[in-house]
Structure 1
Amino acid sequence: MTVYFIGAGPGDPELITVKGQRLIRQCPVIIYAGSLVPAAVLAGHQAETVINSAELHLEQIIAAMRSAHERGHDVARVHSGDPSLYGAIGEQIRHLQALGIDYQIVPGVTATAASAALLGCELTLPNVAQTIILTRYGDSSPMPPGEQLGDLARHGSTLAIHLGVRHLPRIVDELLPHYGAHCPVAVVHRATWPDQDWVRGTLGDIVQRAAAKDFRRTTLILVGPVLGDTPFAESALYRAGHAHLYRPGN
């Protein structure tokens, strides 16, 4: 018996791996995060038991997994996005390890990747940004030392900020000294869902632009020069004359 932590992707039911879809359709027990995972992701399942974890606390979720274990039933534990990012799987894994229950993690498409696709941009550009920092805004729980937004902003990298849209004015205040008022920003709401929406601007005007949209949750904030028209060099990989293993030089 195995508990499979499956990344269901950002919302579009087709943005799930073949492996994740196969496991959902064959596991006798499904526990899914119903507040963030659309029901269409479960299409074609033949599970005997389907549980919406949005209605449960941690101990109840673990009890359901333990019950499945006692019956020898595999569990599809379905999370939104990629389960390793803000999926709260660490605490579940800790319990499973204590109980001697096997588990596997099946990765999924992240909200960051989905938002970049929606915006039609690359988040890493030569000579502009080669680093992406995925973080969250420390409101409901404090951030570890050295991970305050200002600490991360000093790098000037592309930032993907989760769980922060309600605090956008404070976020902008913390980023302005490091990126400047003209730095491009995008606020993406429910990327790949039918009601997806977004707004683009700069650190100087994004607060007003986003306020007009009235985004409240399930929103990602992307910050960095890669979102704008900053000139960048072509990559070495496809440059004529650049030899590598699959394209040796003459």
Structure 2
Amino acid sequence: MHESTSRLNNKKNYESLDSAVYIVGAGPGDPDLLTVKAQKLLQSADVILFADSLVPQQILELCREDAEIIPSANKTLEDILPLMIERVRSHKSVVRLHSGDPSLYSAIHEQMYLLAEAEIPFEVVPGISAFQAAAAKLKVELTVPGLVQTIILTRISGRTEVPETEELTTLAAHQASLCLYLSVRHVEAAQAKLLQHYCAETPVAICYRLGWCDEKIRVVPLNQMADCTHQEKLIRTTLYVVSPALSQASARSRLYHPEHNHLFRPSHS
């Protein structure tokens, strides 16, 4: 557990929280990308139950010196849930800290269901997702007028099956900005499915541990996606962004065009 001046001072300044579970998105890795609300909750909570394999230790420097810190990487839901229930019933506030945004691949559905069943109050606090951090790092907009206007967030089938109607080949047919999570171990299969609809030269950003000190970002043509993944020895925590927007094609939005009128900028003709 990290000791820092900021953390030691937090003990004196924290605000009282309700006895509840706060499911908080920690973002992709960079502590500076936490929301203000997430920071306040971390500074105030009695208990921090965090996914230690996916959330950097530096984020814990925001916590109170006397907060109970519980890593969860080695725990099952059957271990985690009783911990949260017992602490809340003991009149403590619990932050359940997930990586990225809780709405994406965070396995919070079953947690919320069981907390509600146990009549334990909870709140969900959103975070920055990896696809948003990737676009910022790449300095691109994933919805470019006249080029692409849709973003698909998905994964390939693996240990967790994807519904047949959401199979990767089907989604690739849209040729949208496609952000592929949790698929690095099946990269050859993913590349083959994507190539059925995207051309071989479509840019792919391979983003490893975004926001961490060992972050890697490589942009390659789609037909080199698997080879680059293996060359970089990537086996986890990798996001693929497949998009024509990565080509840096020139385009202009209608929103700020002088011929585009709206409520706040009416026509002067």
Deviation at 1:240, TM superposition (A): 1.2
What is the TM-score normalised by the length of structure 2? 0.89
**Which of residues 24, 33, 45 in structure 1 aligns to 2:42?**
24
Partners of 1:57 and 1:23 in 2: CA distance: 24
- Contact 1:199–1:210 at 8 Å: present in 2 too? no
Q: Deviations over 1:54-74 (max 9, x none)?
A: 121101111111111211111
SS in 1 for 2:73: helix
2:31 aligned residue: 13
2:57 aligned residue: 39
Q: Deviations over 1:186-245 (max 9, x none)?
A: 11101111110121111222222332211111000110211114443x111110132222
1:160 aligned residue: 179
Unaligned runs of 5+ in 1: none
Moved over 4 A (4+): none
What is the TM-score normalised by the length of structure 1? 0.96
Partners of 1:67 and 1:93 in 2: CA distance: 15
SS in 2 for 1:100: coil
Q: Deviations over 1:25-81 (max 9, x none)?
A: 111111111111112112132253211111211011111111112111111111000
- Contact 1:111–1:220 at 8 Å: present in 2 too? yes
SS in 2 for 1:160: strand
Percent identity of paired positions between Structure 1 and Structure 2? 41
* Matched AA of 1:154: A
CA RMSD of the aligned region, Å? 1.2
Q: Deviations over 1:12-32 (max 9, x none)?
A: 011100000100111111111
**Which of residues 258, 262, 267 in structure 2 aligns to 1:240?**
258
SS in 2 for 1:54: coil
Q: Deviations over 1:140-188 (max 9, x none)?
A: 1211120110111111111000111222111111011211112111111
Residues 50-61 of structure 1 mapped to structure 2, 5 A cutoff: 50-61=69-80
**Which of residues 240, 244, 268 in structure 2 aligns to 1:225?**
244
Q: How many residues align structurally? A: 249
Unaligned runs of 5+ in 2: 1-18
1:91 aligned residue: 110
Partners of 2:188 and 2:74 in 1: CA distance: 32
- Contact 2:39–2:62 at 8 Å: present in 1 too? no
